[in-house]
Structure 1
Amino acid sequence: MEVYLVGGAVRDALLGIAGGDRDWVVVGQTPQAMRDRGFRAVGRDFPVFLHPQTQEEYALARTERKSGRGHRGFVVDADPSVTLEQDLARRDFTINAIARRPDGTLVDPFGGVADIEARVLRHVGPAFAEDPLRVLRAARFMARFAPLGFRVADETMALMRAMAESGELAELVPERVWQELVRALASKAPSAFLRTLRECGALAVVLPEVDALYGVPQRAEFHPEVDTGVHVELVCDMAAELAPGDDVVGFAALVHDLGKARTPAHVLPRHLGHEHAGLKPLGELCERLKVPVAHRRLAEVACREHLNVHRLAELRDDTVHDLLARCDGFRQPGRIAQLALVCEADKRGRTGHRDDAYPQGPELLRLLEAAAAVRAGDVLAALPEGRTLEGPALGAALRKARIAAIHEARTL
């Protein structure tokens, strides 16, 4: 078979970074010929096969022709006459349109190697505009590669801007938008994802609740960066640093301040009650993108409680207990650990404050541990002989005992 290594594996090797899965292109073969060699077909929309030993993906060289709106509107041709160069021409960016022969030499018809050296993300050709999902892919690649010095080529940004203006981004299915978003949030620089989408006008289409934060002022004594959108960028990057690869924490960091976009103009730059005001736009975003439950629950908790965690030292013992209970922390202590990370990212995601200490995080976990150590069985065991409690009465007694444990832990 005429086989070439393609895509991310080639690109990442040239960048000197660890790559993930390896993808292969097969030229001059038919689906039946692949099956005859023991490959197992897995592609639904075009011919993709798994190698019988390595289980790596081998795709027949193919071309694509636009047949409708959205990222699904394509007709695929995987005829054996399709050349490697034709297959590479349908790809999104030049840095992804490089193939490697078995002898190690490269096939680079669109200058991808030069763009890697220049740190430029550039589209391969005009067919880029046929798939609106590629706008999000560009932003997601920037979330990964901006720390390496990459920028979007001017002509690519102009094309992305035209695509956003065309209205085709509205055709994207929620699952694909969510997939690109979480991959960006798990990258090193989620801020680059937001900035790229905003620069081309796509952020207002796919994440209008986040786009609305830009230009909203905050009090400079607490937020030297002033602009709420810039603050969210800093918080997302700090979350990526504190919890690398954790897109659950990353999503909560992204949406924790959505309520600030709803502050009446005459109140600005103060944001009284923005925590609760953010729950409605958060719910709308989650419904639209079909956000998974784990992401949504932490996001709701972070939106509602982040100011309470910031002022943890000022809260009464019973207020601390009730905060933990509202977050379901006694059943899901991991959620409190994630909340602490989001709150730390919020506090340190401000201009000039990235190196600040955040003692509230470990203190919140310490108080949770003290309270959670008290069980219903402990309360019942402490009752006088012959007495028992159940239902709401047991719940009230357990709450009281846990508040006492929090108080004792704070006096140590």
Structure 2
Amino acid sequence: MQTYIVGGAVRDSLLGIPVQDHDWVVVGATPEDMLAKGFRPVGKDFPVFLHPGTHEEYALARTERKTAPGYRGFVFHTSPDVTLEEDLVRRDLTINAIARAPDGALVDPFGGQADIQARVFRHVSDAFLEDPVRILRLARFAARFPDFTVAPETAALMRSMVEQGEVDALVAERVWQEVARGLMEQQPSRMFEVLRSCGALARIMPELDRLWGVPQPPAHHPEIDTGLHIMLVIDYAAQQGYDLCVRFAALTHDLGKGVTPAAQWPRHHGHEQLGLDLIRAVCERLKVPTECRDLALVTAREHGNVSRALELRANTLVKLFERCDGFRKPQRFAQMLQAAECDFRGRAGDGIDFRERPFPQAPYLLAALDAARAVNAGDVAARCGDDKARIPLAVHAARVSAVKQLVRHSDDGDEAADAEGG
């Protein structure tokens, strides 16, 4: 019975970055051997055990055989006769197929150390073909290690997998899991570049894929291409350390530009509303968490109004807060402003960089919301007496009055001006 550290722990130590978790593979043992040593079984599909002291995962060395489409279509085989190399050959990338023995010696039968030095993602064997999740994992690794490139033969293999429909067999929850993890990496744009280059993005998120090649007005978007804009936006969100919901909202806020008529290009009038059904479709298909979906919808609908915030009347601002449910959910409103600021910052070209430009809209809107929230709705309702129908209007009017102290433009009460709020 021999134990080896495998996978990410070895890779990260060779890259000189902190190791978060240790995974172990056990050669020459049976499940009974593990139980006798006090390990606790946790694996459903194949024998995995938790160490009685450290609680780290120990998996018996195994081989696998493809039996059906998708990432679940495998039969696994474990026995004391399975060698370490037979276990490593089933892994996805050479950089993840290195093992470290207890004495520190490295077992690297597939050249993983050389690929780490060369900063290359390379598949270990044709077994890569059998699991479409490996495309998503590689793309996620590209977001984590943005200085790595995909080996040409691996890129070709991924394209063939997409063409053969393997990606279409992916389970929605697993797609979202990998996309969400990739969004939280150092440079999320690299994940989408890899997925797009092999054709996988068009299968899992066609609403996003179609944004490349769609032009925007150069005066506002010197990068011009909408797909490039989205990549700049999500990378800025990552640089700021924003949470997953903000990053997803940043990713999807301009989906409507992919369906505006080409005759209108480079303008995209009404793209905010056009994007809402597309976001709903993505979220339903990928089983996106409700909080991410709701923030994405609010951001897509209102990011144009946020950009015009300094021009809006007090009445229009209060209606914006009401539409966003800002009085009950001020934290989500603040998250929407973060995503909207990412939209503003994610623009570059011809020597122009928006990352250092002022974005006063966010503090301005937060201050206006605070002023409106400071209104005591209970006191206003009490002054309405028995006229219950007046209460909503009176509360709204009191909030408008409070916001007027902050806005730069007077509100003459003309309801036609409310069209400014979208």
TM range (shorter): over 0.9
1:375 is matched with 376
Deviation at 1:391, TM superposition (A): 4.8
Question: For 1:11-410, what aligned pairs fall within 5 Å after superposition?
Answer: 11-146=11-146, 149-244=147-242, 246-351=243-348, 352-380=353-381, 383=383, 388=385, 391-410=388-407
**d(CA) in 1 for partners of 2:362 and 2:293?**
21
2:414 is matched with none
* Aligned pairs, number: 405
**d(CA) in 1 for partners of 2:284 and 2:11?**
36
Question: SS at 1:354's partner residue?
Answer: helix
Question: SS at 2:46's partner residue?
Answer: coil
**d(CA) in 2 for partners of 1:240 and 1:365?**
22
Deviation at 1:259, TM superposition (A): 0.4
Question: SS at 2:358's partner residue?
Answer: coil
Tell me, yes or no, if the aligned pair for 1:4 and 1:24 is still in contact at 8 Å: yes
Distance 1:398 1:138, change over 3 A: same
TM superposition outliers: structure 1 runs of 4+ over 6 Å: none
**d(CA) in 1 for partners of 2:402 and 2:258?**
39
**d(CA) in 2 for partners of 1:104 and 1:393?**
77
**d(CA) in 1 for partners of 2:396 and 2:52?**
58
Deviation at 1:54, TM superposition (A): 1.4
**d(CA) in 2 for partners of 1:70 and 1:390?**
62
Distance 1:77 1:223, change over 3 A: same
Unaligned runs of 5+ in 1: none
**d(CA) in 1 for partners of 2:4 and 2:386?**
71
**d(CA) in 2 for partners of 1:333 and 1:152?**
43
Deviation at 1:388, TM superposition (A): 2.6
Distance 1:389 1:346, change over 3 A: farther
Deviation at 1:73, TM superposition (A): 0.8
Deviation at 1:409, TM superposition (A): 3.1
Distance 1:317 1:68, change over 3 A: same
Give me the CA root mean square deviation: 1.5
Tell me, yes or no, if the aligned pair for 2:381 and 2:395 is still in contact at 8 Å: no
**d(CA) in 2 for partners of 1:378 and 1:329?**
20
Distance 1:392 1:289, change over 3 A: farther
Tell me, yes or no, if the aligned pair for 1:380 and 1:389 is still in contact at 8 Å: no
- TM-score of the aligned structures, taking structure 2 as reference length: 0.93
- TM-score of the aligned structures, taking structure 1 as reference length: 0.95
Deviation at 1:411, TM superposition (A): 6.3
Write out per-residue CA displacement over residues 278-302 of structure 1, whole angstroms, 9 at most, x where no aligned residue: 0111111111111110000000001
Write out per-residue CA displacement over residues 108-158 of structure 1, whole angstroms, 9 at most, x where no aligned residue: 111111111111111111110111111111111101101xx1111111111
Deviation at 1:354, TM superposition (A): 2.4
Tell me, yes or no, if the aligned pair for 2:234 and 2:342 is still in contact at 8 Å: yes
Distance 1:215 1:363, change over 3 A: same
**d(CA) in 2 for partners of 1:389 and 1:112?**
77
Unaligned runs of 5+ in 2: 410-422
Deviation at 1:322, TM superposition (A): 1.4
